[in-house]
Amino acid sequence: MERSTIVRVHDGLHARPATRFVRLAKSFESDVEIVKDGKSVSAKSSVKLMLLSVKENQEVTVRADGADAAEAIEALIGYLENPRAGLDEDAETEDQPAAPAAPVPVARPVSDDSTDGRLRGIAASEGASVGPVFAHFPKEIRPQPHTLPAHAIPAEIERLHAAVGLVRKRMADALADATLAESDRAIVAALMDIAGDEALIDQAERWIGQGMDAVSAVIGATDATAAEFSAVEDGYLAARTDDINAVGRQIALALLGEEEADLSTVPEGAVLVADDIGAWDLARAPLGRIGGIVCGKGGATSHIAIIARSHGIPAVLGLGEAIKDLASAKEIAIDGAAGWVAAEPDDAVRAEILRLTGDALRERAALAEFRDAVPRRGDGTVIEVAANLGSLEEIDPAKAAGAMGVGLFRTELLFMRHAHLPSEDLQAETYATLAKAFAPWSVIIRTLDIGGDKPVAGIEFPDEENPFLGWRGIRMCLDRPDIFKTQLRALLRAAVHGNVKVMLPMVAEIAEVERTKVLIAECEAELAAAGVPTGRFELGVMIETPAAVLIASQLARHVAFFSIGTNDLTQYVMAADRLHPAVAHLNDVTNPAVMAAIAMTARAATDAGIMVGMCGEAAGRADLIPEFVRLGLTELSMSPSSILRAKKTITELVPETPAD
């Protein structure tokens, strides 16, 4: 069986989206292939899948052969057609783009500036420091190729599988370590997937079958695969060369019975100097002690750069052969934002670094003061600055950022993570965990917001010319009470554990709210009859359709709160698809028409005496927050990375009451 589709996965099947796609493919018994431009690869090999270089908006065909072929094609096509796939770490979410710890820098050419003695490379992670050099140059693995006799081949293949198993176990143990940062966890998981990749292992097995020793076979297989990645005209994929080589090195070391050079002795504030550092080694290093990273290899999209940015470590990469000169230095100055390093810095360079670090520390300290702040309006009304979340893994970063609860929990991500619809128990446990984590602050949980543009396994969607105007959100839920009531029962059960509020998406009619209330009453009765404890929750709606804006004054009499979803509201008010680049300029929340819609909504809520908040991208914009507060919004929900700045902005507002 086969079926073609247009890929809607944000940025295509790179690294982690490819890993998720492969895991989904492996959950089926059938042989599965994906075809692009006439080239076919196994859908169960993340390495081969990444090399296929599947981009967003390209056409591909999924083929499956086996007992569950139909189910495999339905699930995999559903993933590809879902523009929110791969959301967790590296794609835009519906209402708020996930912000990186620091912006991805622009690569600069490597040069030796003779005027000031500084080496310039790729600015990979901002920040500045001066520290002692910690040279990390592990010995090169030099295989001693020899031909195996035929009788020794089976045992050598067994050795290969044992080494792969050992490397994967070490990585699994690292993932089980609660101290491993979430950003690093995703990278280790991707490396673990590469270590077990069937295409990579099969190639090594074939060479062993021809009489090659296991170490030579592994090095040869990873070198060949890395060369394929290097040849791809895609900077991100080319950067995966480092990951392939790092995994091959770990397997080879396991075959040799050797351990990798240890980074555990890095002294406080040291600048790590290396030709290259495997992401596996760096993720396990004492990152809190590292003052900077300087490498001969690597780029702005390499995993070294990603780890450095997520931990706030200055990094300059891609210095090439010049790295050998730095290895013998005693001390190095580094400016990761400008992309330069200087060996044995003089007083002028030290003074420059001191100024840069001072500026950065003052900015961070100024914002950190607002972590526990409770910002208030001029009349004393609290303005809740909450977080937009999509998974339980995001709870700790949100709390660390000072989130005053959750203004949007996207439950559709819970559905997208599973090949089948999540059970009532699983949903109840998830929502309860969220409620308990933020108590006594409220958590606003949005009911299932899926539709023709973002289907999930277990729900059949019709083909639609314009899915953004079709069977989605509350419309789909009311037509499928079997699915909707399962979620409502889970929410009622979770309400026992904290301040749960429930929000309905895509509301355009008051009847949709009333029909939902009938279902909630039915669920309460069913749970009571079964002796299951329940709590009450406030029911609100997202204001994201022009219809909801126009009937806001009537709608306010039937709900407890409004939350304005500015991304969808903007696209509907402006009649401009927010995913279409040709009309991107129209998707501007500051357009007078959109701001008028926000003002109308705020006035209707204020007049009715209900809370009005915002959970769209604009909620975190410091330039717009003063106007939102003036209009009467008392809750703003955003990416955790924007929370401290938002709190500071509100706290420093000139006291005034909301607009009349």
Render pLDDT for 362-373 as a digit per residue (tens, 0 to 9).
877 888 889 999
Of 295, 477, 523, 615, which is the active-site residue? Answer: 615
> What's the mean pLDDT in 220-232?
81
CA dihedral 604, 610, 614, 620 (to 10 degrees): 110
CA dihedral 88, 91, 93, 97 (to 10 degrees): 110
Of 445 and 111, the one with more pLDDT? 445
Does residue 93 register a pLDDT over 50?
no
CA dihedral 53, 465, 565, 430 (to 10 degrees): -70
Of 10, 14, 136, 303, which is the active-site residue? Answer: 303
> What's the mean pLDDT in 97-126?
58
CA distance 64 to 73: 7
Lowest mean per-residue pLDDT among 317-326, 592-601, 651-660 = 651-660
CB 485 within 8 A of CB 427: no
Banded model confidence at residue 659, pLDDT cuts 50, 70, 90: low
> What's the mean pLDDT in 45-51?
80
Of 591 and 48, the one with more pLDDT? 591
* Annotation marks residue 615 as catalytic: yes
Identify the bridge partners of residue 134 per DSSP, sorted by sequence position: 272
The per-residue pLDDT for range 379-401, each reduced to its tens digit, is 889 999 999 888 887 888 889 98
> What's the mean pLDDT in 117-131?
89
Q: Whole-model pTM?
A: 0.54
> What's the mean pLDDT in 9-27?
77
Sort residue 127 into left (φ over 0), alpha (ψ -120 to 50) or beta.
left
- In this structure, are strands 331-335 and 340-343 parallel, antiparallel, or unpaired? antiparallel
Does residue 156 register a pLDDT over 60?
yes
CB 364 within 8 A of CB 383: no
Report the pLDDT value the prediction gives residue 286, as an integer from 0 to 100: 87
Banded model confidence at residue 232, pLDDT cuts 50, 70, 90: low
Lowest mean per-residue pLDDT among 90-94, 201-205, 340-344, 640-644 = 90-94
Positive or negative: CA dihedral 254, 260, 264, 268: negative
Report the pLDDT value the prediction gives residue 656, as an integer from 0 to 100: 57
Lowest mean per-residue pLDDT among 54-58, 174-178, 284-288, 365-369 = 174-178
Collapsing DSSP to helix, strand or coil, 270 comes out as: strand
* Annotation marks residue 585 as catalytic: no
CA distance 572 to 545: 6
Residue appearing with tokens 């050079």: 261
Of 178 and 483, the one with more pLDDT? 483
Q: What is the average pLDDT score of the chain? A: 84
Q: Which of 372, 375, 413 is nearest to 394 (CA)?
A: 413
Burial 326-359 (b: 16+ CB within 10 A, else e): bbebeebbbbbbbbbbbbebeeebeebbeebbee
Report the pLDDT value the prediction gives residue 417, as an integer from 0 to 100: 64
Highest mean pLDDT among 5-19, 311-325, 416-430, 462-476: 311-325
Banded model confidence at residue 88, pLDDT cuts 50, 70, 90: very low
Lowest mean per-residue pLDDT among 60-64, 297-301, 343-347 = 297-301
Residue appearing with tokens 């981009």: 55
CA dihedral 290, 296, 298, 303 (to 10 degrees): -30
- In this structure, are strands 315-317 and 122-125 parallel, antiparallel, or unpaired? antiparallel
> What's the mean pLDDT in 221-238?
74
Burial of 379 (0-12, 13-18, 19+ CB in 10 A): exposed
Does residue 651 register a pLDDT over 80?
yes
- For residue 286, whether the previous peptide bond is cis, meaning omega lies within 30 degrees of 0, is no
Banded model confidence at residue 256, pLDDT cuts 50, 70, 90: confident
Lowest mean per-residue pLDDT among 47-51, 333-337, 471-475, 550-554 = 47-51
Output the CA–CA distances (angstroms, integers) from residue 615 to 72, 508, 541, 623, in the order listed: 35, 18, 11, 16
Highest mean pLDDT among 240-249, 291-300, 361-370, 461-470: 291-300
Report the pLDDT value the prediction gives residue 92, as an integer from 0 to 100: 35
Helices (H), 120-152: none
> What's the mean pLDDT in 184-190?
74
pLDDT above 70 coverage of the chain, percent: 86
Does residue 262 register a pLDDT over 80?
no
CA distance 145 to 236: 33
pLDDT above 90 coverage of the chain, percent: 44
Does residue 457 register a pLDDT over 80?
no
Between vectors from CA 150 to CA 144 and to CA 156, what angle results, nearest 5°? 55
> What's the mean pLDDT in 441-469?
74
Report the pLDDT value the prediction gives residue 507, as an integer from 0 to 100: 97
Positive or negative: CA dihedral 618, 623, 627, 630: positive
Lowest mean per-residue pLDDT among 272-281, 299-308, 428-437 = 299-308
Highest mean pLDDT among 3-7, 559-563, 655-659: 559-563
Highest mean pLDDT among 13-27, 90-104, 503-517: 503-517
The per-residue pLDDT for range 577-611, each reduced to its tens digit, is 765 656 767 888 999 999 999 999 999 999 999 99
Does residue 118 register a pLDDT over 50?
yes
> What's the mean pLDDT in 185-214?
86
First and final C-alpha spacing in the chain:
63
Q: What is the DSSP letter of 180?
A: S
Write out the two tokens for 171. Answer: 């990585």
Report the pLDDT value the prediction gives residue 145, as an integer from 0 to 100: 80
Element (H, E) at 307: helix 303-310
Does residue 81 register a pLDDT over 60?
yes
Banded model confidence at residue 546, pLDDT cuts 50, 70, 90: very high
> What's the mean pLDDT in 494-506?
96
> What's the mean pLDDT in 646-654?
89
Ranges assigned E (strand) in 44-167: 59-65, 111-113, 118-120, 122-125, 128-136
Banded model confidence at residue 235, pLDDT cuts 50, 70, 90: low
